[in-house]
Amino acid sequence: MKRWFAIIALFSLAWAAPALTLYDQLAPILDQVRTLQNSNPARALELLAQAEDNFRKGAGELPPVLREGIQQSLADARQALARRSSADLEARIQIIKAILGKALYDGYFNALDKGNTEDAGRLLPKVLAASGLPNSLQAQVQTLAAANNLEGVRRLFERTYAQGIANALQRAQAQTSAVRAYLEATRAYALYLIVQDSPRARGLSAKAFVDALGKLSSGNLGGFKTDVQGLLTQAQNFLRAASSPQSQRRSNPTTTTQTPPAAGGVRLEAPRTPPAPRETAPAIAVQTRPAVQAASTPDAYQQLLGDLRFLIKDSRQLERVADSLTGAGVYSIDDWKRALLEVRGRLLEAQAQVENGQTDLARRTLAQVSARYRTAIAPLIEALRPELAQRTNRVLDLAENAVGLRTSDFTVLSGELLENALVLEGRSLGAFHSLQIWLLQTILGIPRAFLFILAGLLAFFPLYLLKLTFGGRNVYWRLLGLAFFFLLLPAMMEGLSYIGSILSDPRYGRLPFLGVLTNLSIQQNLVAQLFWGLTVFLVIIFATIGLRGIATQFGLLQNQRTPVQRSRSSTLAQTAAGSAAGAAASTKPHPGLTSETIVEWDEEF
């Protein structure tokens, strides 16, 4: 059982329209991805990114847990494509369509119950397509729906789904190839997801399917076939119950027509399925020693319980955490650590995307990071340090939706994930990291952008005053003005970079070509940081030359010239009284004064 469970509250009436639109957008793209995975994997990867983008834009009306489930399945499909695992990719596509198919299925019955035949007519073909059911079923369903026999329509669907589940399980049991058995079991599981809320399908469960797939994924073919036999028995019971009118009357004696469950009363379990077995693994080797292999492969759930008992003392909480982690594909503490390293790696990917101006891709990657953290990392942290789990969830959500992300933000986010890892050791990064996280939550996004834009605008004011006051012919004051300019230039560049971030964001300016301005930020890349270092040197050079010249002009420094000796010959005024003329002695100037002292301070010397 190598992936996760997500309990999704299906508000069917609200889901019908967005689910229909999303299915129309995603299904053709996913089919193209399946076709191109071997011939043109690069194009297939681009199409998968387009599917993720379309889903993000159109899933706003869907419940958060449903969005996370499909987002994670799309992320898993991307990884399967990167690994060139066609079986894994096929399984992810089936699960995505099954989740959407459940929404379409409930939306269809809700439309019938409300008498909205137009919406029901639009939804029915999509329900059949999402489930892979034959088109011939459409005529039978329409006949029953036209007669207002909703119970007959539901039972017809359930018989068809039950038969499909049983057939897929029989094929899985008969397969000698582990990969083919995996795909058939996944097919049965996907069909079950659509009708799992039926009272006649109570013998089946999502956990049973995932347990069987987990055993097959780990190489325990014998255990897999044993579980499949149990599932097949329950699927046949489901088929008999759906085919028997008496069974329905016993399960619901007070009504003659089964109406769809009320909004919020339907639950859909949409776990991430375990990865497919290796396609190169020989199935014969597995069959020759089934008993030995089954004995050497411990039950994953019990193994995880054993690991967690050293950390969690409350038995109920222990089971809840184990259920969540095993559903996310985490079987041990080592698996949990690997999942955390995977999340940190995706965070570095988002950082590189931000550094190169790919903000939309970075936002999608952050959404996947956040979803993976909540499913695979947070359950254990919530049991050990719940306030840390809440803080990490909050800061990841904030980063996902923030405008003007900078590479320095990812350093803090990476530190927060490291803080999660240190919880197992009882250690922490300390108060300074907590201060950085608090600051990040406080100013990230628009507040920080406003702060730097304001600083960049205000930087022009002292430059204007400097020009107004010391804009004369004195070269030293001009050099000092240049020093002030280069000193304030980084602030102006930072403000301009945040203007570009806001205007290029599709939620604000929708001018993507202005995204190049983000490269001006010192917090963004190495080039901007080196340019800032260059401006610091220019500030030092211009300020030194300018201030030295001014100090020399004011007589505070001696220059290399010989001071001019000013002699003052005083002659006695010849008066009518015949006073004698006297020559005044030559006077020596003060040693601190030079010839430049007599130059006006704002004139060029």
Residues 363-419 pLDDT 10s? 888 988 888 898 889 999 999 999 999 999 999 999 988 999 998 899 999 999 999
What is the rounded CA–CA span in Å between residue 328 and residue 325? 5
pLDDT at 63: 61
CA 25 – CA 35 distance, rounded (Å) = 17
337-338-340 Cα angle (round to 5)? 65
With helix as H, strand as E and coil as C, how does 384-427 read? HCHHHHHHHHHHHHHHHHCCCCCHHHHHHHHHHHHHHHHHHHCC
- Predicted pLDDT of residue 559: 56
Q: What angle, rounded to 10 degrees, do the helices at 41-58 and 12-36 form?
A: 170
In angstroms, the CA 330 to CA 373 distance is 12
Per-residue DSSP letter, 377: I
d(CA 185, CA 173) in angstroms, rounded, equals 9
CA–CA gap between residue 445 and residue 468 (Å, rounded):
36
Q: What is the pTM of this model?
A: 0.55
Alpha helices in 37-85 (DSSP H): 41-58, 64-82
CA 408 from centroid of its chain's CA atoms: 17
Residues 64 and 169: their CA atoms lie apart, in Å, by 32
C-beta of residue 579 within 8 angstroms of C-beta of residue 572: yes
Q: What is the pLDDT of residue 516?
A: 87
Indicate left, alpha or beta for 385 from its phi (over 0: left) and psi (-120 to 50: alpha): beta
Residues 74, 89: Cα–Cα separation, whole Å: 9
Single-letter amino acid, residue 203 = G
For 316, phi then psi, to 5°, come to -65, -45
**Cα angle 290, 217, 222; round to 5:** 20
CA distance 512 to 498: 13
Give me the pLDDT at residue 451, please: 93
Using CA atoms of 582, 585, 586, 592 in order, give the dihedral in degrees to the nearest 10. Answer: -130
Number of H helices, E strands in the chain: 25, 2
Q: Are 47 and 32 in contact (CB under 8 A)?
A: yes
Residue keyed to tokens 């610091």: 536
The answer to whether residues 94 and 65 touch, using CB atoms and an 8 Å cutoff, is: no
Q: What secondary structure, in 3-state letters, does 274-318 show?
A: CCCCCCCCCHHHHHHCHHHHHHHCCCHHHHHHHHHCCCCCCHHHH
**Domain ranges, ordered by start, for the chain:** 16-243, 297-444, 448-554
Candidates 154, 145, 108; CA nearest to 130 is 108
What's the token pair of residue 384?
Answer: 């050990």
Nearest to 387 by CA among 428, 346, 425, 354: 428
Q: What is the pLDDT of residue 20?
A: 83
Report d(CA 519, CA 363) in Å as an integer: 18
Which 3 state secondary structure label does DSSP give 570? Answer: coil
**CA gap 9, 268 in Å, rounded:** 7
Structure tokens, 478:
């001009």
Amino acid at 535: T
Quick one: pLDDT at residue 272?
53
Q: Which residues of the chain have pLDDT under 70?
A: 1-17, 60-67, 245-300, 327, 471-472, 558-605
Q: How far apart are CA 285 and CA 47, in angstroms?
A: 38
Amino acid at 230: G
